[in-house]
Amino acid sequence: MTPLTKAIRAKRISNTPPYLFAEIDRKKAAAIEKGIDLISFGIGDPDLPTPKHIVDAMHAAIDDAKTHDYPPYEGTKEFREAVAVWMYKRFGVSIDPVKEAMALIGSKEAIAHIHTALVDKDDVCLIPSPSYPVYRVATIFSEGIPYNMPLKEANGFLPDLKKIPADVLAKAKLIWVNYPNNPTGAVCDLSFYEELVVFAKKNNIIICSDNAYSEMTYDGFVAPSILQVPGAKDVAIEFLSLSKAYNMTGWRLGMAVGNEELIAALGIVKTNTDSGQFKAIQKAGAVALTAPQDSIREMNAIYQKRRDAMVYGLNSLGWNIQPIKGTFYIWAKVPPRFKSSADFCGHVLDETGVVLVPGNGYGDEGEGYFRAAITVSVEKIEEGIRRLKEKSITFK
């Protein structure tokens, strides 16, 4: 066979680092090969089962032959109407299910695809740092220019919009926000979104709000939607997911809501790149959104106990972590004796079999931090803390 003489990979691929969690999976597999007994606080994949009433709805839908053909590109009427009902009940926001809502194959694909729909070469995208890696990579894939907005602990991990230079704003096409926040666990109130909408209108910038963790909140905090701000639909599109709220990560179902022109632009990309989500999954999703939400309250009570166990455990080893009010992530500083986040997380894995995520995988401002997902039982969390203590892995 004659070898290819041209470069196989496109430049956009060659210049892209491995996806953070794919790399973590590789390291986990290597550790298992060495016989290390792992406790993983890595990827944010719920260990709790999908609620039974949703699974039962899926079983019934699979047996219905009417679900076996291609779905409508924009999502079934039933699912989009369920989205509109849920948005009104949950946030008091009225959504036109035809023009302002779209079914997604999980919110991740749309978070990537929206850049294809909106971003031209050299358009600037305002990206939080640290943040979900897809915002930055999708900008690069679209030949846009990512501009880091540092999220500082002193500012509650909110971006300081006033510090973005005027020349950057002149070229900016869109801005990403994500609250409750991955990876920091930070939350925002409606006043931040009000400020953001004014900022976006003043600078002619599109707001992309990743609200995947809206239902994962604690201590009485209720996460808002940016669409609750009057006039937000003029400039904003919001991405929501059933993955975390209903323990449906593998089902791959989410929704985009908001400005109808932005929804239509996303639809052009999606109709040319995918054929929609299986109708049976959308039927089950409609049940999830419209049925009583008791399962979310029960789930959050479990996560709150896990949060408390992790925070207490790390603080007993010298950290000073405040309990998060949203998501299921603990964001903590790396002990000062380690030269980097990767160095610390690698040391912890080798010495204890505990998997943590290095903060620099979420952007430059994540260096010096690590993320721990509380997607294991309290007993596993306590065992992980015991292992750290046994190996004298403390903050000091």
Please write the tens of the pLDDT for every residue from 245-269: 999 999 999 999 999 999 999 999 9
**Rounded distance, CA 72 to CA 34, Å?**
48
Lowest mean pLDDT among 17-21, 99-103, 107-111: 17-21
Q: What is the bridge-based pairing of β-strands 254-258 and 369-373?
A: unpaired
- Average pLDDT of span 339-351: 94
Q: What's the half-sphere exposure (Cβ side, CA atoms, 13 Å) at 340? A: 7
- In this structure, what are the phi and psi dihedrals at residue 72, rounded to the nearest 5 degrees? -60, 140
pLDDT at 21: 62
- Check residue 118 and give its pLDDT: 98
Residue 4 pLDDT class (50, 70, 90 cuts): low
State the pLDDT at residue 331.
Answer: 98
Q: Report residue 279: phi and psi, to 5°.
A: -55, -35
Tell me 67's DSSP state. Answer: G
pLDDT tier at 9, thresholds 50, 70, 90: confident
Residue 77, SS3? helix
Residues in contact with 191: Cβ distance below 8 Å, sequence separation at least 6, in sequence order: none
Q: Is 107:136 a contact under the CB 8 Å cutoff?
A: no
In this prediction, residue 2 has a pLDDT band, given cuts at 50, 70 and 90, of low
pTM recorded for the entire structure: 0.95
Query: What is the predicted pLDDT for the residue at 102?
Result: 98
Note whether 227 and 256 are within 8 A (CB): no
Euclidean distance between CA atoms 301 and 276, whole angstroms: 34
DSSP 346: H
How far is residue 307's CA from residue 304's CA, in Å, rounded to a whole number? 5
Give CB contacts under 8 A, 24+ apart, made by 21-29: 23/361, 24/355, 24/357, 27/349, 27/355, 28/355
The pLDDT value recorded for residue 19 is: 64
Domain boundaries, the chain: 11-49+295-390, 52-290
Q: How confident is the model at residue 16 (pLDDT cuts 50, 70, 90)?
A: confident
What H or E segment, with its residue span, contains residue 270? helix 260-273
Do the domains spanning 11-49+295-390 and 52-290 agree at the CATH topology level? no
Q: How confident is the model at residue 392 (pLDDT cuts 50, 70, 90)?
A: very high
**CATH code given to domain 52-290:** 3.40.640.10
Query: What is the third-level CATH fold of 11-49+295-390?
Result: Aspartate Aminotransferase, domain 1 (3.90.1150)
